[in-house]
Amino acid sequence: MLLIPAIDLKDGHCVRLKQGDMDQATVFSEDPAEMARHWLAQGARRLHLVDLNGAFAGKPKNESAVKAILRAVQEYADENDVEEIPVQLGGGIRDLDTIERYLDDGLSYIIIGTAAVKSPGFLHDACSAFPGQIIVGLDAKDGKVATDGWSKLTGHEVIDLAKKFEDYGCEAIVYTDIGRDGMMMGVNIDATVKLAQSVSIPVIASGGVHSLKDVEALCAVQHEGIEAVICGRSIYEGTLDLRSAQERADELSEEA
């Protein structure tokens, strides 16, 4: 079970939202690149970036901050003689040119959310053009998928879309329970397992992580196909220690 720190970007700063509400943003750092270095020093093996402004605008808005993070990650890898540290990004990615530009900048994975739901053909093209590098982000509330920075609830069932996108060749699915994101109420284990059981590609859990208990609960069901969990407010506010939680997850994975 991989623990992936989230770096959410708003106006060039590292923030966390509550339930995706841009008006409920807590700024945790003015320097996202420095925050990336911090999490890598704490043992992170992968980073999850979100362009929050981009998610609402439908086009990249924090590209300079993303580039600064990628430079910091490369510098850290070089200094510590570490192999490539994957970085994934979502938020406002709506065309193939943007994907290509970001991958050229050094991103390992691109997460497509709203565009996947609204323009399945675009997702299909992206999976064909960039095999192994496209992840789908499915954000849901009560089993229904939301789009446009979570501002619009669709009639689409999560599992139906997941199966469809798996056929397109997506690398993995990031599944977020909107009602729990940023609220530290605990991960929606049942819904995450149900989704993982319905597809053969890996599922990355997101939303609601609060403490080590949540990590242990996910480790207990990782055999269902849940390979990672994105950690946000919990690691920023200190209710979860990233280094010790990853060590515990490694222990449980070895025992499984």
**Which residues are catalytic, by number?**
8, 139
Q: Which tokens in the block code for residue 200?
A: 């053969």
Please state, in angstroms and as integers, the Cα–Cα distance from residue 18 to each residue in 21, 124, 149, 185, following that order.
6, 31, 12, 11
DSSP assignment letter at 142: T
Asked if 73 contacts 47 with a C-beta cutoff of 8 angstroms, the reply is: yes
- CA-wise closest residue to 230 among 114, 125, 138: 138
- 3-state SS of 167-222 is HHCCCEEEEEEHHHCCCCCCCCHHHHHHHHHHCCCCEEEECCCCCHHHHHHHHCCH
Asked whether the CA dihedral 232, 235, 238, 241 is positive or negative, the reply is positive
**Number of H-type helices and E-type strands within the chain:** 11, 12
Phi and psi angles of residue 251, each rounded to the nearest 5 degrees, phi first: -60, -50
Name the packing angle between helices 63-79 and 32-41 (round to 10°): 30
As a whole number of angstroms, the distance between CA 121 and CA 115 comes to: 9
Q: Which helix (H) or strand (E) holds 104?
A: helix 96-105
